Structure formats: structure tokens, C-alpha cells
Amino acid sequence: MTLLSDRPIARTCRSRDLGLHAVTLIAFLAASSVPAPLYPLYQAQWGFSAFTITLVFAVYALALLVGLLFFGTMSNRFGRRFVILLALGIQLGAMALFLSARDSTWLIVARIVQGFATGLATTALAAALLDVDQKTGATINSISPMIGMAVGALGSGLLAQLAPAPLHLVFVVLVVLFAVQALRTAGSPETSSSLTDEPWRPSLRMDIPANARRTFLLVSPINIAVWALGGFFLSLMPSIITEIATEQVQMLGGGAVAGLTLAGAVAVMTLRGSTPRTALLAGSVAMILGPAIILAGMHLTSTMILMAGAVVSGLGFGAGFLGAMRSLAALAMPEKRAGLLAAFYTESYVANAVPALIAGFMARHGGLFETATIFGAAIIALATLSLLLNLSKK
């Protein structure tokens, strides 16, 4: 009787721990997209340029990369719970900086702190989810980032459009959420059953094994395309919507980001059983069509067409990222996998940040629509190259 009664208890504990860490992961990724619909409001209040918007966005991605690559193994030494609590504490500090912001410098500092906290949390939370249940944890890890970014952007846009204190209320909500998750995490069990007692220090391990180099080059065009487009959406897309829409611009700005990321989550779930090549081909086609529809909507000043393009692009985002990740993951032995994924994520986040910075610089000197047209053409060219490479692959 004891053994039988213990099973429901074990299942309940497992579900509770999965729920705890899933909510925390979604909260971190939601917070990452919260500023996107607010950038036009910040810009109107403080009078900074489109380049400053992309700088505020880009420093987040680069700080996240530092946390991810140099501190990713920290939870193996000190435990998942300790690192998650540390990340939550740093994130609460970032929310305080957003609430206190007085100019763009405050935003840049807040995004740096937020990016580092998110990079620190991502690896520890991903590992904790896999510790609890490898299969379910892997699924949560795959879709949580896209769901989180959708919830954050859409929720921020709605609050900015409909509620008072548009530059502050959403961060108050996040402070409460992260504080609650910190208290829940402090009372949760450690998920790792084997912590190393070796001395630990920040270190970068990046390596592309010889047998994975050709595939790495093959998936790079679509990987760069999807992450560059994601960076553009999270930095300059709300400003483009402000130019073509007459009302509800914050809600539409958040809706565009949500359309991209939710469609990406749908693509991941739909194609998770397909071959990597099928996912790459589907992602390439969608990344040709989606940006083309977005550019059509922009030049026709139609938010409906633009939103449709965001959804199609999101399908390409999810399918392309899934195909690239699975193509590489199958090639590396376990002892080489960390170095390969480090290289992959470095390419991803650099592609997320640097093209957005370039676009911001171009927008300041050549105009927002002209920049978006050139950017969209570059995305389409990369997706077309990916399509041709995968069609020719035997």
C-alpha cells in the first residue's frame, strides 16, 4: 500500500516542480519583451533616436550571451536553486532600474542587468526542468521562450494602451511576480542529484567539432535570418507601427511581437516530429514569404497585412530555429555538445543584436521605412540561400 500511495505523491511533486520552473522561465522571457511596445513612448518622452532604441535592445542580447556562455555551468557547482534565486535577485534589481529610469542611459543599464540575469537563469532553469522530467522538460524548454515573449509583449502593449502609468505599471506587476517566484523557489527542493565539488570559475567553452562544421555553415543562413528578424521586431517594429497606425499603437506593437513568437511556438510543436531538413525547408519558405508580406503591409500602410506577415514570419522563425538546432544536436557527442551549442548560441545572439544596431544607425540617417526595406530584402536573401542549400542537399 505504501508504494502505491507514494506514486501519486511523486507525480504531484514532479508536476509542482515543473510548474514552478516553467512559470519562472516564462516570466524571465516575458520580461525580456516587455520594453518593446514601450520604446515609442520612451522615445517621445525623452527624444532619443532609433539608433538608441536598437542600442537599448542590443545590450540586452549581448549581456544575456555573457551570462549564458560564461556562467552557464554555475548551477552544476552551486545547485540549480541557488543560481535561480541569484538570477531572480538580479532581475528584481533590473525591474527597479526600469521603474527609476529618467533617460535612455537608465534603460541601457537596466537592459544590461536584465540580460545578464536572464542568461544566468536560462541555463539553470533549463537544467532544473530536465532534472525533474527529461521529456516534458525538453518540451517546456522549446516553447517557453516564444510563449514568454508573446505574453510579455502583448501584456505590456495592453497595459500601456489601456491602464494608467504605462511606463511603470507593467514593471510593478513583474516585481510582484518575480518576488513570488523567489519565495516559491526558496522553498522548493534542489533538483540536481549530483553537484560537483570542483573549483568553479567563469569560463567559455566554444568548439565546433570537425564533423559538424559543414552542417553549421549550412544552417547559418536561416539561423542568422530568424534571429536578425526577431531583433528587428523587438527593437524597431513598434516604431514602424507607430508610423502607419493612427490608434492603439502600443497594443498593435505588442501584437506584432506576439504574432511572431506565438506562431513560432506553433511551428515548433507542429514540426517537432519531422526531420531537420523538412523543418529547414519549411522555415526557409516562410522566411521568404513573411518579410515580403510585412514590407507590403508597411508600404501599403496596412496593419492587417503587416500582422499577417508577422504570423507567417513567426512560422519561419520557429521552423528554422528547430531545424537548425536539431541538425546540429544530432552531430555532437555528449562531451562536445556544450561547446557546439555555445558556438550556435553565440551566432544566434550576435545575429539578434548586431543587425538591429546597424538598422538603428541606418534609420537615423536614411529613414525608418527605407531601412526596413533593405533589412527585409537581406532577410529574404538569406532565407532564399538557405532554401537553395537545403534543396541541393542529398
Q: Enumerate residues 6+ apart whose C-beta is below 8 A from 140.
A: 18, 21, 22, 25, 129
Q: Kindly report the CATH number assigned to the domain that includes residue 380.
A: 1.20.1250.20
Q: What pLDDT digit, counting tens, does each position of 292-303 carry?
A: 999 999 999 999
Q: Is residue 237 part of a domain?
A: yes
Are residue 226 and residue 84 in the same domain, yes or no? no
How many independent structural domains does the chain possess?
2
Q: Is residue 198 part of a domain?
A: no
Q: Is residue 161 part of a domain?
A: yes
CA neighbor of 127 nearest in space, from 191, 182, 63, 64: 191
Are residue 211 and residue 144 in the same domain, yes or no? no
Mapped onto helix, strand or coil, the DSSP state of residue 380 is: helix
Are residue 183 and residue 214 in the same domain, yes or no? no
Rounded CA gap, 35 and 33, in Å? 6
Domain containing residue 57: 10-189
- More confident position, 136 or 269: 269
Question: Would you put residue 248 in left (φ > 0), alpha (ψ -120 to 50) or beta?
Answer: left
Mapped onto helix, strand or coil, the DSSP state of residue 381 is: helix
Q: pTM for the full model?
A: 0.86
Q: What pLDDT digit, counting tens, does each position of 61-75 carry?
A: 999 999 988 888 788
Question: Is a pLDDT exceeding 60 seen at residue 255?
Answer: yes
Segment 192-214 mean pLDDT: 79
Segment 239-254 mean pLDDT: 86
* pLDDT score for 5: 44
Q: What pLDDT digit, counting tens, does each position of 257-289 carry?
A: 999 999 999 999 999 889 999 999 999 999 999
Segment 34-59 mean pLDDT: 92
